[in-house]
Amino acid sequence: MTQATPTTAYVLCERYRIEERLGANRLAVVYRAFDERLHRPVLVHMLRKDLVGQEPLRQRFIQEVQASAKRSHQSLLELYDSGDVSGRPFMVTEHIAGRAIRDLGPLSLEEALLYLRQLVGAVATAQAAGVAHPPISSRNVILIDDGHVELVESWQTPPNEVALDLAAYRPPERTEGMPATSASAVYALGLLLLEMLSGQRVFTGQDPRVVAEAHTTTQIPTIAEVRPALRVIPLEQIIAKATARRPEQRYPDAASFGRAVDDLWRTLNSETKRLANAPVQRPGLRERVTRVAASTIPAMVASQPPLSTSSTIPQAADAMEENDLASMLPPAFRQSRRRSMTGLALVIGLIAIAVLVGYSLASFAIEQLSGVQLPRLSLPSASIPSYLPEWLTGVPSGGEDVYVVSGVPDEGLNLRDNPGITTNVIGLLPNGTMLRNLDNPREADGVTWLHVRTRVDDREIEGWVSKNFVKPVTKGT
């Protein structure tokens, strides 16, 4: 009978228990490890054993460790610790796991801009600190979760393929022997944006020198050429400037490029328009609304601008729904009305309970004195709905699943009038907004769209949102 050979995990510096070798990159071998002091997973990056005797590369690794300590951004690995073991320098960083965006294929415009803004911020942070950043490549951008990406030096790319990988983003001036500048990183970021949208690299090949040389002679295609369905003029202009052949024609640094990308993001959202008030359908309604509001909150009415003249009120319909009437009332009046209704329901409930209790007490007393059994009062049983009603959840009724907006930037999620990334934006929905799905999903511009109903400024509106930024809550009413 043979016995299994016992194995003991190596513990680095009596603290980091090495668990698995993940891979290697230009300078380091990367291990998944566990910090036994703080009880958390970490990554250990250790100088490759075959590079220990090469002092220039050893010093370069140490410089990159020091650079990591000087830059701090949510899309860059956070440095925890560093040291040296038997002449091999190492560093310990946060642990991440995910997929390289190289493996994701074409992205929607919303996704691509969401990721790019994070990467531009990471590169701008490094440039502002005057230190190096990880090489820009789709293999080096890792999608973690919920739309968060990090720029790393991938340990999944074999060292003998690194040169070919980086040649796909090498700016022309570097091939011509000029030093790298901040504009060199902008060139690589521009190519990365084009790749995220098209799913393909602009420059490919088997020889790194041939691929690098292509940057100096080949015209970079426009987004309309690689993805005809996605034609956004400001986007084409930004990519063209970022990937200009001469560095002086590009954005000077990542921060400038980032401002242009942010302007594009706002431009795509600038079509947001507040929905017009529901049309008044019957003559005389304006006067009735004014009188009701004035009698309830005269001070507020006095401070409001006058309603439009009757000549501008459509006369086509003979009726107007209660919701349209309510939408014309001042906000404070609508809140007061809701509070009044709630208070009235509460008072009626208390009165009913008091009557029931009073009758029970009186019946008990009569029965004790006379010995006559009186009929019993009871509240009628009612079935409890299996869902939470609209007045309690705030989610408009009349649809299927309920969703919540999640993972969008501060500006909010675009609510569009039709599926598609170039359709009109009719509202912005912040994180946490509840939505009611109304129909089956629809595909447009490589994005899955949901037809939803929600509330914006106390108004119910319908539109289309990207399914990438909503999460299901529960089965609907």
Q: Please indicate, yes or no, if residue 366 is contained in any of the structural domains.
A: no
Same domain flag for 140 and 168: yes
Residue 147's domain is classified under what CATH number? 1.10.510.10
| pLDDT (0 to 100) of residue 229 | 84
Same domain flag for 134 and 232: yes
Give me the average pLDDT of each 10-residue run along the chain (477 residues).
53 94 93 96 96 92 93 94 94 94 92 94 94 94 89 89 93 93 96 95 92 92 88 91 96 95 81 41 45 44 43 38 42 48 64 71 64 54 42 50 79 83 80 87 83 83 88 64
Same domain flag for 233 and 119: yes
Same domain flag for 128 and 145: yes
Last residue of a domain, one of 63, 94, 125: 94
pTM value is 0.60
Which residues constitute the domain of residue 46?
11-94
Same domain flag for 167 and 204: yes
Q: Please indicate, yes or no, if residue 330 is contained in any of the structural domains.
A: yes
| pLDDT (0 to 100) of residue 311 | 38
| pLDDT (0 to 100) of residue 266 | 83
Q: Please indicate, yes or no, if residue 200 is contained in any of the structural domains.
A: yes
Same domain flag for 103 and 89: no
| pLDDT (0 to 100) of residue 267 | 78
Last residue of a domain, one of 245, 269, 293: 269
Give the number of domains in the chain: 4
Q: Please indicate, yes or no, if residue 373 is contained in any of the structural domains.
A: no
Same domain flag for 156 and 125: yes
Same domain flag for 400 and 287: no
Same domain flag for 138 and 210: yes
| pLDDT (0 to 100) of residue 192 | 97
Same domain flag for 243 and 110: yes
Q: Please indicate, yes or no, if residue 367 is contained in any of the structural domains.
A: no
| pLDDT (0 to 100) of residue 391 | 40
Same domain flag for 211 and 106: yes
State the distance between the two ends of the chain, measured CA to CA, in whole angstroms: 65
Same domain flag for 260 and 126: yes
Last residue of a domain, one of 30, 63, 94: 94
Q: Please indicate, yes or no, if residue 2 is contained in any of the structural domains.
A: no
Q: Please indicate, yes or no, if residue 380 is contained in any of the structural domains.
A: no
Q: Please indicate, yes or no, if residue 1 is contained in any of the structural domains.
A: no
